[in-house]
Amino acid sequence: MLDPRLANDTIAAIATPPGDGGVGIIRISGSKCRTVAGALFRAANRRFTEFTPYRLHYGHVLDADGKELDDVLCAFMPGPNSYTGEDVIEINCHGGRAVLSAVLDEILHHGVRLAERGEFTYRAFMNGRMDLSQAEAVAEMIHAPTKAAMHLAQIKLSGLLGQKIADLRARLEHLRAQLCIAVDFPEDEIECLSPDDLMATCASVRNEINALLSAVDRTKAWREGALVVLAGRVNAGKSSLMNALLGRNRAIVTDQPGTTRDYLEESINLDGLNIRLTDTAGIRQTDDAIETAGLEKGRELMEQADLVLLLADGTAPLTDETLTTAATLEPRKTLLVLNKSDLVDFDTNNAGPLANPDLEMLSISAKTGSDIDILCARIRDRILQGAGQPDPDELAPNARQAAILGEAALELLELEQDTAAGIPYDLLSVRLETACNTLSGITGEIASNDVLNSIFDAFCIGK
């Protein structure tokens, strides 16, 4: 948890992911960073006297005994024109775990504290380098599953969402000023605000908020990916289909029923759309406690899924288990897949009269890969139904921001209703103030420590 009392500490952390790599970066932020770096760094250039801002200096990091730990590139970025708004030093080392740990340990021995999760970005927010919506966009950029998700995060990182919220708040604040005038000078016709004008402005702002909210569902699949669950009776070919979609053998395939007793999850990318593909336990009656638990988990996943691929053996009539499952699933998020089209006994008529005739059906062969490309295209189309490609300038709020926008929109709607009911202006101004303050939670002008901690605790150490 971030403690404001420690805001003046100089902090350091490894800013690159764990593991071995060509380059690893250690970031130091705070008033002592240049002094600490100067004590550890020995420049290769004999004419070096001090760090030149925004320039890479080549040299070595030395330990307390003067022994070389690594040859590095070191950069100094003075505040306020740095990521955190403070003086920042970044040391580019070789990317091995041992190297980075040794250099970081040496830094920490010079009165520097290890950074908390998200503390660098937290300091950037507190020092006015970015608003809260931009800080959240940093995390969204890091975790973006696709290029489209990265682009949606980049738009918010540029500050466009913050600017939009600031514009909406400015319109409401202007309305508040007009309300104050109307309350303080009720007999003055100059600058008088009519109820119709008040309702019209509130409705206009509320409509723009609702437009932002509409983008949440429209871009959800691009931002978060989609869950596609493979379900069906034992030996229908779910594991074979999963392997075919992945292009490798991930799931064990045998003729023995009940091979998949739990569930397997892997990710695939369908032309820029991230899919979490989940193979569930085959549906059947069983006394096996582990398999029963797996079946229950499979049912939970089907309820959560964006799309269920209900797999069936196309060489025989649909089983009672398959028909029962088909009857319980929503057609809008279900695709009936008849497998084993490579066999001579395969017949689409084996699907028979389904309990729900609106269920879409496709035929494939998981074994030979026949029509897998058609299935992939259809999965993508069904997930993106009604969404399409994100607009280049789409502002897509995250879940926290959407909740705040919803609260503000409701407050404005109730304000319009109160205005129509003839509620006095001095009472209406309270609702207007609440709407303004609610919107400020998106950019962080008004945000509790609990909210800030919940946001920045989700970051990695080093960012």
Q: Where are the domains of the chain?
A: 4-130, 142-221+398-443, 225-383
User: What CATH fold (topology level) applies to the domain 225-383?
Assistant: Rossmann fold (3.40.50)
Reported as a single tens digit per residue, the pLDDT across 318-349 is 888 888 888 888 888 999 999 999 998 888 88
Neighbours of 312 (CB within 10 A): 26
Percent of the chain with pLDDT over 90: 50
What number is the average pLDDT over the span 211-220? 89
How far is Cα 450 from Cα 359, in angstroms, rounded to an integer? 46
Reported as a single tens digit per residue, the pLDDT across 70-116 is 999 999 999 999 999 999 999 999 999 999 999 999 999 999 999 99
Closest to 366 (Cα-Cα) out of 324, 319, 303, 309: 309
Which class for 335: exposed (0-12), middle (13-18), buried (19 or more C-beta within 10 A)?
Answer: buried
- pLDDT of 202: 94
- pLDDT of 120: 95
User: What CATH fold (topology level) applies to the domain 142-221+398-443?
Assistant: Four Helix Bundle (Hemerythrin (Met), subunit A) (1.20.120)
Closest to 460 (Cα-Cα) out of 145, 138, 152: 138
What number is the average pLDDT over the span 376-381? 93
**Position with higher pLDDT, 189 vs 133:** 133
What the block records as the tokens of 138 is 């940093």
Cis peptide before 80 (omega within 30 of 0): yes
Closest to 159 (Cα-Cα) out of 140, 141, 132: 132
Chain-centroid distance of CA 385 in Å reads 21
Per-residue pLDDT band at 222 (split at 50, 70, 90): confident
Sorted by sequence, the CB contacts under 8 Å of residue 219 that are 6+ apart come out as 152, 387, 390, 394, 396
Angle between helices 119-126 and 132-143 (to 10 degrees): 150
How far is Cα 121 from Cα 130, in angstroms, rounded to an integer? 9
- Same fold across 142-221+398-443 and 225-383: no
Tell me the residue ranges of DSSP E strands in 398-454: none
How far is Cα 395 from Cα 211, in angstroms, rounded to an integer? 9
Superfamily of segment(s) 4-130: Probable tRNA modification gtpase trme; domain 1 (3.30.1360.120)
Per-residue pLDDT band at 193 (split at 50, 70, 90): confident
Percentage helix, strand, coil, to 5, in the chain? 45, 20, 35
How far is Cα 364 from Cα 349, in angstroms, rounded to an integer? 14
CA-CA-CA-CA torsion sign (169, 151, 207, 333) = negative
